[in-house]
Amino acid sequence: MRNFIVKPVGKGLRVTSHKFKLRFFVRTCISRASPDDFQLSPFRFTPFPEIDGMCSNNDIFLIDVVGQVVGKEDPEDIITKAGQSSKRMRLNLEDEEKNKMKCTLFGDFVAQALISLQKENVEPLVMVAQLFKPHVYLSDFCIQPSFYGSRVFFNPDSRSGTT
């Protein structure tokens, strides 16, 4: 890679805890590396207690979370800031240490959750949230998707990489 600069991360939404970011220009050149050169792990799971700390310190990072769905609220119809109709749904997640966290889903994620919740014999229902944003809502710590990079998987098969 050439013709780029490294700068400190400013305020706002951050995708990593690293203190620097790369800034690309029109003349930035990037060469493709072989996948064998890197050990790729698509997830870096954040424990629930750390998420509480992030919200308390106003550290806004996109995080990956895994938890068992132990409760849900009925989907609600909402109108987005752009004036479009959508859905919102809250799930209650629990980790292996019995810590609880709320998760708010929107739009297509609600449809995906409802399909998984309506399947028979899916207990326990495990949710993997990738690139979600920690958020405080009514003094409760929760997670929610952030723009278009977020993904959600229900009962993923880790051996084949499918959902």
CATH number where 108 lies: 2.40.50.140
Compute how many other C-beta atoms are within 10 angstroms of the C-beta atom of residue 68: 15
Would you say residue 14 lies in a domain?
Answer: yes
147: nearest Cα among 23, 60, 70: 60
Domain of residue 134 covers 48-154
Would you say residue 124 lies in a domain?
Answer: yes
110 contacts 90 by C-beta, under 8 angstroms? no
Q: Are residues 53 and 132 in the same domain?
A: yes
Q: How many domains does the chain have?
A: 2
Tens digits of pLDDT across the chain (163 residues) = 888 888 888 776 677 777 888 888 888 888 887 777 666 677 889 898 888 777 666 666 788 999 999 999 999 999 888 888 999 999 999 999 999 999 999 989 999 999 888 887 767 889 999 999 988 877 778 899 987 789 999 987 644 444 4
Would you say residue 148 lies in a domain?
Answer: yes
Q: State the Cα–Cα distance between residues 119 and 96, nearest whole angstrom.
A: 23
Q: Are residues 102 and 138 in the same domain?
A: yes
Q: Are residues 58 and 19 in the same domain?
A: no
